[in-house]
Each structure stands twice: as C-alpha cells, then as structure tokens.
Amino acid sequence: MTTKATATFEIDKWDEHPTHESDDGRKMTRATVTKRYQGELIGVGTMDYVMAYAPDGTASYVGLERVEGEIGGRTGTFVFQDVGGFRDGVAESEFRILDGSGTGGLQGIRGTARVDAVHADTQTMHLDYELDG
C-alpha cells in the first residue's frame, strides 16, 4: 500500500565546482549538497549532482542522494535518484528511490517524490512510498 508523506528540507551545504566552461555561458558543474529533512521524513541527505547550464541560465541536472533517517516509524538508509531542471526561478525535481538501496528498517523501500524548489530557505518534498512488512 502506498503511503503519502510530506517533508521539508534545508540545505546545510552546497559545494559546486565547474568541470567545463565556455565563453558563451555554457558550463558543466559537479556539486555535493547536504540536506536536513524534517516532517514525515527525518534525517540527513548527501547528494552528488552533475549539472549542465545553458547561456540563458537554465540548467538540467541529475544526482544521487544517500538519505539516512526515519520514515514511517522505521530507520535506515536509502538512495534517491534526482532528475530535473531549473527554469524561470524554479528547480523542478523528480525523485525515485532506487530499488534495493534501502538498509536497516528501510530495506525494501520503494517510491517517488517531487520537489518544485523556489529560492527559499526551506523546501517541501511530497513522497509516495511503500515499505515491506
């Protein structure tokens, strides 16, 4: 049975470095991001992103995030895959919990999440997940 949950997160650290840059504003970067979750997901996530920026300031990105925390009364870890883009001041992200990534009480977790992040200190994530047992 799918459970719906809402969590907020704040970014504690954003460390981004260019890997390729061109004179017209195109660039690729790598970033390591640390997040702190509250709400129905409580914990800490560490994300590694690869991003491609266009001259107009839009961007596309992919990332993997290891989350250590508690959801649904269970604790453990799992990995999110994030695919998204940044346009018109909004970062739209689609997350998927990678099959087989759950450990501890979160072994067998599966699901998806969505974030539409605007420039603010706190962001909201909407999750749909299932736990075995």
Q: Is the pLDDT of residue 64 over 80?
A: yes
Neighbours of 99 (CB within 10 A): 10
- Which pLDDT score, from 0 to 100, does residue 69 have? 98
pLDDT (average), residues 19-32 = 96
Q: Which CATH number fits the domain that encloses residue 51?
A: 2.40.350.10
pLDDT at 99: 95
Please check whether residue 53 is in contact with residue 27, taking contact to mean a CB–CB distance below 8 angstroms. yes
Range of the domain at 110: 3-130
105 φ, ψ (degrees, to nearest 5): -70, -10
Number of domains forming the structure of the chain: 1
Is residue 133 scored above 90 in pLDDT?
A: no
